[in-house]
Amino acid sequence: MNIEQPVTEEQTNQSSFVRRMIDSHSVLGLGFAALIYIVSVTGAFTLFVPEISLWENRGVVTQNNIDPNIAATSARNAEAQLKPGNEILNVIFYAPDEFKPYSSVRLNQRPDRNSKLQSDEWLVNPNTGDLMGSADAPYAHFIEDLHTVLHLPNPWGRYLVGLLGVVMFTLILSGIFAHPTIVKDAFKLRLERNARLAWTDIHNRLSVWGLPFHLILTFTGAFLGIAGVTVAALAFIAFDGDQEEAIAVINGPQPILGAPAMPSPPDYASMIKRSQAPDRKFALFVTGNPKDSGQTTSIIYSENGILSMRSSDIYRNDGEFLEKFGGKGSEVGARIFGAVQPLHYGTFGGYPIKMLYFVLALALTYITSSGMMIWFKRKMQQGDPRPRHEGAWRGMTSGLTVGLSVGAVLATLGLSLPLAQICLAIWAVGFAAIYFAPNLLRAVQLSWMLSAALLLIAVAINIGSSIEGATSNLVNGLLVATAIAMAVCASRLSTAATTHS
């Protein structure tokens, strides 16, 4: 006969400790999954930051090209906006391109070396070079900052996003090795079975179909996120710790310290004209302090037929040509380095590639979300449900959706509000409302329907405003499609009560 042994206090404490460790492990995994989800969903819309910037701006004069003299005039007009006593760091002129059919110019200044950078950007009248008003796009910048730095201080936010890229790249590779039949079962779908099998099959199929994209996106994202660490490592290995020399290899010639002041502004128009060629399209120029002859001006072009796309003709501010950096004829390493950003943001193949990236980025978002839902279902079937974890996940994803949708409405209204702070606050409120809701799925369903309605309201406001053109209509179309998709998904959610404490 079996005699049940009494449970000792030590065993009880050990079991409690193990449970706490398991819960901590689950929370850590949930946190990483949440960050990956945030970076993925905002990455899909970061692809359209130039278009969203135009979508939320009024009074933009669109054009396809810019005259070098007009570009030079706008730069000098921006320099004239320097505040008394401040130092100019640089002036950047952005020419129109296929994704951003307007020009703008940016002035970066600061009171002294220990002060925070002050950045101002203005729209440019393409006929006169006059500054037309602030190129203010808070919604586009909110999405972009959430994707690139998670609204954390630099450089730590960028490093964290780079680390997430490394984690995602590793997860993709481990997923391939963990599922040896994943390619063989590329079209296996069991949608008629239970929810966990359906989610698992869609999760695996999307993972396989988008595998090249996922590998490229995560690898380049990791590279861009930890670029600062990469430079430090390059300096340590190849240049005996000299980071300035390493940066010069990557960025080209550096300023000459103590050079005399410029007698007159740099001749930007002449530099642009000297660098023109049939297979190049002027993209932007960046000039260091235009009052300093030792600083440099980079005339940057898009080159046809190469993935790295951008090349720079670098001049001293006094007009002396220094070198061509990147583009055709450059070293393989420079070409590879120059290809990282176009590969990550899908800017190398026009709108067909951009739209493909958008779809695949949303697929990656779904893969992350469905992976968590599979885990929740598996835990429930194993008799170990995690209602708190699921509530936190649903609150995070749905709260973010509501926050972004409210931001879209505020952007179209053109109000002078702290948009980023408002969106983050609404995200937090949405998280709490869903987490503590007595019926979790019902709360999620309502949040999706609300988000869909808000996006349609934003589109209606935009259509009723003075903003017109193909770019604005593209963003309107994307938002309508997103709203319809959310409404369809919400209608398919079960409203069965899911009570959690």
Residue by residue, what is the 3-state secondary structure of 86-132?
CEEEEEEEECCCCCCCCCEEEEEEECCCCCCCEEEEEEECCCCCCEE
Peptide bond between residue 6 and the one before it cis (omega within 30 degrees of 0): no
Q: How many CB atoms lie within 10 A of CB 190?
A: 11
Q: Could you give the CA distance from residue 48 to residue 147 in angstroms, rounded to a whole number?
A: 12
Q: Confirm whether pTM is higher than 0.75.
A: yes
Residue 59 has pLDDT above 70, yes or no: no
pLDDT of residue 243: 55
Q: How far is it, in rounded angstroms, from Cα 455 to Cα 422?
A: 16
| pLDDT over 90 percentage in the chain | 37
Report the C-alpha gap between 26 and 207 in whole angstroms. 23
Element (H, E) at 286: strand 280-288
Give dist(CA 367, CA 318) in Å, integer.
53
Confidence of residue 2 (pLDDT cuts 50, 70, 90): very low
Please give the C-alpha separations between residue 300 and each of 282, 303, 309, 344, in angstroms, as whole numbers.
6, 10, 10, 20
**pLDDT at res. 464:** 76
Task: Over range 47-59, report the average pLDDT.
Answer: 84
pLDDT at 265: 87
Q: Name, in order, each residue with C-beta under 8 angstroms of 286's C-beta and a sequence gap of 6 or more.
A: 90, 91, 92, 297, 298, 300
68-136 CATH: 3.10.450
Burial 320-357 (b: 16+ CB within 10 A, else e): eeeebbbbeebeeebbebbbbbbbbbbbbeeeeebbeb
Give the best-scoring range by mean pLDDT among 194-198, 251-255, 271-275: 271-275
Q: Say what the pLDDT of residue 303 is.
A: 83
Q: Are 121 and 104 in contact (CB under 8 A)?
A: yes
Confidence at residue 383, expressed as pLDDT on a 0 to 100 scale: 83
Closest CA to 286 of 421, 38, 94: 94
**For helices 9-46 and 211-225, what crossing angle results, to 10°?**
100
Q: In the chain, which segments carry CATH 3.10.450?
A: 68-136, 252-345
CA angle 408, 412, 413 (to 5 degrees): 115
- CATH class of residue range 252-345: alpha beta
- Which comes out higher in pLDDT, residue 353 or 257? 353
What's the mean pLDDT in 201-214? 77
Count of beta carbons in the 10 Å neighbourhood of residue 274: 14
CA neighbor of 210 nearest in space, from 360, 76, 405: 360
SS3 content of the chain, % helix, strand, coil (to 5): 55, 10, 30
Cβ distance 451 to 501 under 8 Å? no
* Token pair in block for residue 82: 């320097």
Say how many CA atoms lie within 13 Å of 363 toward its Cβ: 20
Residue type at position 284:
L
Q: Is the pLDDT of residue 404 over 60?
A: yes
Q: What is the mean pLDDT of residues 11-30?
A: 53
Q: What is the mean pLDDT of the chain?
A: 82
For the cut 60, the answer to whether the pLDDT of residue 22 exceeds it is no
Mean pLDDT value across residues 306-320: 84
Higher pLDDT pick, 19 / 265: 265
CA distance 378 to 354: 36
Distance, C-alpha 467 to centroid of its chain: 24
Residue 358: the pLDDT is 92
pLDDT at 400: 96
Both structure tokens of 321:
């040509």
